[in-house]
A and B are shown apart, each in its own frame.
Chain A
């Protein structure tokens, strides 16, 4: 089976030779790409013009002297993120959030030379990113990074982008124009209390710039070996006083990658066109409105099948934020999203090959209220509702039954930050959700923050998070065309339950000197009811294999990150990520892959970046990474994906204040290297690439 698949639903066959190995293949399916139904994180997703992560995580300072002192100790970048009319009335430096947070700025994205969102996410030390082919990436935090990675919640401007099909993200559908991204907030660790089910191992908030911030013309063009070519155009203007808009269009054509065993080109080049708009009101009014929308249409080649898989989608979102007083504000958000996916599926047994399609409509509403009560309590509470209408067009050998499924998801949450003393605060909250598969789910958490000396903080947290079932877990059916008991290969199960995590975290963050900052986060995660692939009732035959919840176990790890402004013009960044996993089959239960199917995670990741501002308006950036080997088990037996070093470089010349010329190279150390995949004839490798880019704005 092919673990790369467009929407990773690919089930099985295909792996080498006959079909007795089908069973294995299944597993193989890239760790059975499976996932789940949209849940409601939105309630916690605050409007893009306020950092979603911080309002609820940071304590409120009320004393103005403290405010002055806190601002004084912030960097310029942090000052620029302070809202002059913050709800909590208090400075909310990121450095004060009691959680494992990293923020990727627009400047870092541009300087990294990233040409796609997944490449930009490599800037977060607390993520694992593995590219499987030209258009498939596995991305997660704190492990479980198979092709079906399903424990990370991703939001773009408050809109959830993981698919309820398997609870994962189709990264090749998520191509916001990088120049318009304001920042990306990456939180590793559970965020269920605010964001809901699926925020199990982490949350990524992608926040785009306000229309007010993108006025005038912007054009960019790229050409090279990857992307082959790319062009984007944006114009921003005003509709009325204090009402700003932008419209944009973008097209890219990306090259194929190669097969790992012989370097031969794979048939997986892809292209996409996209366009959209955003309108923001500004000014001193107590009411702020945002309306935005996008539409895209693309197609990607399948590495091992002759055709291409088209997909398309669009969304429209509105948000109204109202400030009642410095102590109270609300936001109401509504969006509609449509996503159409297609995936070629090979045949199984007597069943022919075909195409599996999935059309998903989502309507989502959420309301949130921030409220300061007295000097000591800062409340955030909210409500959310989501409706999804999912229609599968089934392939002969890969089906979702029922083909059409409507689901409702409700949630309510409340969280209170209690300031115990000037230096110590405690945050307690929970979300309660109701989904159609498993009913009510609670996701409580408690956090303690202690600023034991100025500019240094210790924090600790205990949280419960759940991954609710996906359509794949519940509805998958892979007929073989043979009679029972081998009529199907891999089946979902309506008795599939939510996977559960209890997480214990401890962290330290410090501004050690004016020029050095550091952060260390540690965690111990206790998982239960993790998905297993359990042989069916006909034990002597093993088929069909059925999804159940027979895995459990622990993971623990450390995430470190540090910045050093060595000289005015030379900055360093170092990051390290360590994880150990002990996931096993629950006593008395069975699993087809001995508990190895859900994980594919390097124990060690090391990142080092250098950013230089040279004379003559020249920037030079270098970025090295080391990714450890890991075990992968989506094949007949467990195998290893080797470790690798890679290097990215970028040289940019700001020729005038309007014109930037740059050249960048990615993965420069090898002709091609492997990041993911079972080592068989379909495993792909990622090639060295170089491109030139021109950016013009006025």
Chain B
């Protein structure tokens, strides 16, 4: 049933407004020192943890390793943005009998023996050539910008609302004999070329 008396305007006696503005104003005078620098480091600490998770949520074919206790080698292709974060993250870790190690290089050819290759932004202009080199091997390729997976890579990172998200090209991974767990598939965005 209809209610009478609608549509009144709200008497806005907003005394606190000056106070709020003042508070905001005070904040504006804070020194801008130290801005921004931590953003990048933190981002790659988190991405290092993602890579460490990928090692555990993807199953590699036996042929990816020369022996059952051969190291699991993570390649970093291009200009390494991690600093020590990735080294700190995987230090001393052994997954399914494989000790985790890191190889840094500017050439995809030198990383053919890796099980996972992180393609840094500096190297992404060569995505085509990199994938030609690694795309038929059991090497999980992880890119640092959106569309890397659409372009034929396996996984890429992107930022959404200041948080890290990832895309997965499940078809490409399957072709390489990599078995990505459903848990990872459920959390990533599935893309196809």
| Chain A residues close to B by CB (< 8 Å) | 49, 64-65, 67-69, 71-72, 74, 76-77, 79-86, 89, 107, 210, 212-213, 280, 282, 307, 309-310, 322-328, 330, 332, 336, 340, 342, 355, 357, 359, 361, 363, 365, 367, 369, 383, 385, 387, 389, 391, 393, 406, 408, 410, 565, 568-569, 613, 657
Contact = CB atoms under 8 A, between A and B. Distances in A.
Interface residue tally on B, bucketed by range: 35 or more
Which of A65, A84, A324, A327 has the most C-beta atoms of chain B within 10 angstroms of its own C-beta? A84
B50 A79 contact: yes
5 contacts: A71-B48, A85-B38, A89-B42, A324-B27, A359-B3
Please give me the 5 A-B residue pairs with the lowest Cβ-Cβ distance, nearest first.
Answer: A71-B49, A357-B3, A84-B43, A385-B16, A326-B38
Contact of A389 (B11, B32, B34, B164): B11
B191 to A, nearest CB: 9
Nearest to B13: A387
B33 interface: yes
Contacts of B10: 336, 361, 363, 387, 389
Interface of B: 1, 3-6, 8, 10-17, 19-20, 23-24, 27-28, 30-39, 41-43, 45-46, 48-50, 52-53, 57, 85, 88-89, 159-165, 181-184, 186-187, 190
Contacts of B42: 67, 84-86, 89
Nearest to A282: B161
Select the residue from B39, B48, B163, B183 with max chain A CB neighbours within 10 A.
B163
A371 to B, nearest CB: 9
A282 B10 CA distance: 33
A318 to B, nearest CB: 14
Given A324-B27, A387-B12, 11 more contacts: A49-B162, A68-B88, A76-B187, A77-B187, A80-B163, A80-B164, A82-B163, A83-B163, A327-B34, A359-B5, A383-B16
Contacts of B181: 568
B3 A76 contact: no
A405 to B, nearest CB: 13
B160 A84 contact: no
Nearest to A283: B159
Contacts of B27: 322, 324, 328, 330, 369
A67 B164 contact: no
A81 B49 CA distance: 13
Nearest to A328: B30
B184 A342 contact: no
A63 to B, nearest CB: 11
Nearest to A211: B161
Nearest to B40: A84
Given A79-B46, A359-B3, A332 B24 contact: yes
Given A340-B3, A359-B3, A367-B20, A89 B14 contact: no
Contacts of B162: 49, 83-85
A325 B32 CA distance: 6
A107 B32 CA distance: 39
A213 B160 contact: yes
B43 A72 contact: no
Contacts of A357: 1, 3
Contacts of A383: 16, 19-20, 23
A340 B33 contact: no
Contact of B163 (A84, A327, A336, A361): A84
Contact of A79 (B15, B38, B53): B53
Nearest to B57: A76
B106 to A, nearest CB: 25
Contacts of B4: 393
B23 A613 contact: no
Contact of A326 (B16, B19, B35, B159): B35
Contacts of A324: 27-28, 30, 32, 35
Given A79-B50, A80-B165, A328-B30, A363 B35 contact: no
B184 A81 contact: no
A342 B2 CA distance: 9
A559 B43 CA distance: 35
Nearest to B191: A657
A79 B8 contact: no
A393 B5 contact: yes
A325 B46 CA distance: 19
Nearest to A73: B49
A74 B47 CA distance: 12
Contacts of A49: 161-162
A210 B160 contact: yes
Contacts of A69: 88
Given A83-B162, A568-B183, A369 B23 contact: yes
B14 A385 contact: yes
A280 B48 CA distance: 28
Contacts of A85: 38-39, 42-43, 162
A212 B32 CA distance: 28
A326 B10 CA distance: 39
A393 B16 contact: no
Contact of B1 (A74, A107, A342, A389): A342
A336 B12 CA distance: 11
Nearest to B165: A80
A64 B85 CA distance: 8
Contacts of A89: 38, 42
Contacts of B85: 64, 68
Contacts of B28: 324
B31 to A, nearest CB: 8
Contacts of B8: 361, 389, 391
Nearest to B82: A68
B89 A72 contact: yes
- Give the residue among B15, B16, B34 with the most A Cβ atoms within 10 A: B16
Contact of B33 (A72, A325, A330): A325
B89 A367 contact: no
A89 B49 CA distance: 16
Contacts of B190: 657
B30 A68 contact: no
Nearest to B49: A71
A390 B76 CA distance: 63
A325 B14 CA distance: 30
Contacts of B35: 323-326
B159 A84 contact: yes
